[in-house]
Amino acid sequence: MVSNEHPFAQYVRILGRGKTVGRSLTGDEAEAAMDMILANQVRPEQLGAFLMLLRVKEETPEEVAGFVRSVRKTFNLPTDAPSVDLDWSSYAGKRRQLPWFLLSTLVLAQSGVKIFMHGAEGHTPGRLYTRDALEMLGLPVAKNFKEAVNQIRSSNISYLPLAAVSTRMHEIIELRPILGLRSPVHTISRMLNPFNAQNVLQGIFHPGYNSIHQGAALQLGYSRMAVFRGEGGEIERRPSKSLDVWTVEDGEMTVQNWPALLSEPQQPTDKEMQIRRLVDVWKGDETDAYAIAAVTGTLALALHLMGRVKDQAEAQTKAEALWVARDREKLAA
Does the residue 140 lie in any domain?
yes
Candidate from 26-35, 222-231, 266-275 with smallest mean pLDDT:
266-275
Does the residue 80 lie in any domain?
no
Does the residue 208 lie in any domain?
yes
Cα–Cα distance for residue pair 75/304, rounded to 1 Å: 29
Rg (CA), the chain: 20
The verdict on 68 and 172 lying in the same domain is no
The verdict on 102 and 160 lying in the same domain is yes
Structural domain for 57, as ranges: 9-72
The pLDDT score that the predictor gives to residue 264 is 83
Does the residue 42 lie in any domain?
yes
The verdict on 62 and 97 lying in the same domain is no
The pLDDT score that the predictor gives to residue 124 is 77
The verdict on 147 and 294 lying in the same domain is yes
Instruction: Specify which residues 41 forms β-bridges with.
Output: none
pLDDT, the chain, mean: 95
The verdict on 147 and 236 lying in the same domain is yes
pTM to 2 decimal places: 0.95
Distances (CA, A) of 119 to 65, 124, 163, 297: 19, 13, 9, 22
Per-residue pLDDT of 148-196, as tens digits, reads 999 999 999 999 999 999 999 999 999 998 999 888 999 999 999 999 9
Give Cα 276 distance to the centre of its chain.
Answer: 24
Q: Which residue has the higher pLDDT, 296 or 19?
A: 296
The verdict on 169 and 30 lying in the same domain is no
Tally of CA atoms within 13 A in the half-sphere of 145 that contains its CB: 16
8 A C-beta contact, residue 102 and residue 219: no
Distances (CA, A) of 189 to 24, 117, 197, 254: 20, 12, 15, 23
Query: Which of the four pLDDT bands, split at 50, 70 and 90, describes residue 332?
Result: low
Last residue in a domain, options 72, 95, 115: 72
8 A C-beta contact, residue 318 and residue 300: yes
275 C-beta neighbours (distance < 10 Å), count: 17
Number of domains in the chain: 2
The pLDDT score that the predictor gives to residue 174 is 92
The verdict on 142 and 49 lying in the same domain is no
Does the residue 2 lie in any domain?
no
Per-residue pLDDT of 102-111, as tens digits, reads 999 999 999 9
The verdict on 210 and 315 lying in the same domain is yes
The pLDDT score that the predictor gives to residue 148 is 98
The verdict on 183 and 93 lying in the same domain is yes
Instruction: Specify which residues 252 forms β-bridges with.
Output: 249
The verdict on 187 and 258 lying in the same domain is yes
Cα–Cα distance for residue pair 210/204, rounded to 1 Å: 8
pLDDT at 119 over 60: yes
The verdict on 175 and 198 lying in the same domain is yes
> Which secondary-structure segment (H or E) carries 115?
strand 115-119
Cα–Cα distance for residue pair 275/138, rounded to 1 Å: 11
Provide the percentage of residues in the chain whose pLDDT is more than 70. Answer: 98
The pLDDT score that the predictor gives to residue 330 is 81
pLDDT at 333 over 70: no
Task: Label residue 159 exposed, middle or buried (CB < 10 Å: 0-12, 13-18, 19+).
Answer: buried
Instruction: Specify which residues 257 forms β-bridges with.
Output: 244
Last residue in a domain, options 72, 101, 119: 72
**Strand-strand pairing, 243-249 and 252-258:** antiparallel
Cα–Cα distance for residue pair 279/267, rounded to 1 Å: 21
8 A C-beta contact, residue 14 and residue 23: yes
> Which secondary-structure segment (H or E) carries 300?
helix 289-305
**Domain containing residue 182: CATH number:** 3.40.1030.10
Does the residue 264 lie in any domain?
yes
N- to C-terminal Cα separation, the chain:
67
**Dihedral-angle region of residue 196 (phi above 0 means left; psi in -120 to 50 means alpha; beta otherwise):** left
Does the residue 78 lie in any domain?
no
The pLDDT score that the predictor gives to residue 182 is 84
The verdict on 140 and 54 lying in the same domain is no
Cα–Cα distance for residue pair 41/79, rounded to 1 Å: 29
8 A C-beta contact, residue 117 and residue 146: no
The pLDDT score that the predictor gives to residue 252 is 96
> Which secondary-structure segment (H or E) carries 319?
helix 312-324
Cα–Cα distance for residue pair 40/49, rounded to 1 Å: 15
Last residue in a domain, options 44, 72, 100: 72
Does the residue 4 lie in any domain?
no
Amino acid at 67: F
Per-residue pLDDT of 271-330, as tens digits, reads 999 999 999 999 999 999 999 999 999 999 999 999 999 999 999 999 999 999 999 998
**Domain containing residue 48: CATH number:** 1.20.970.10
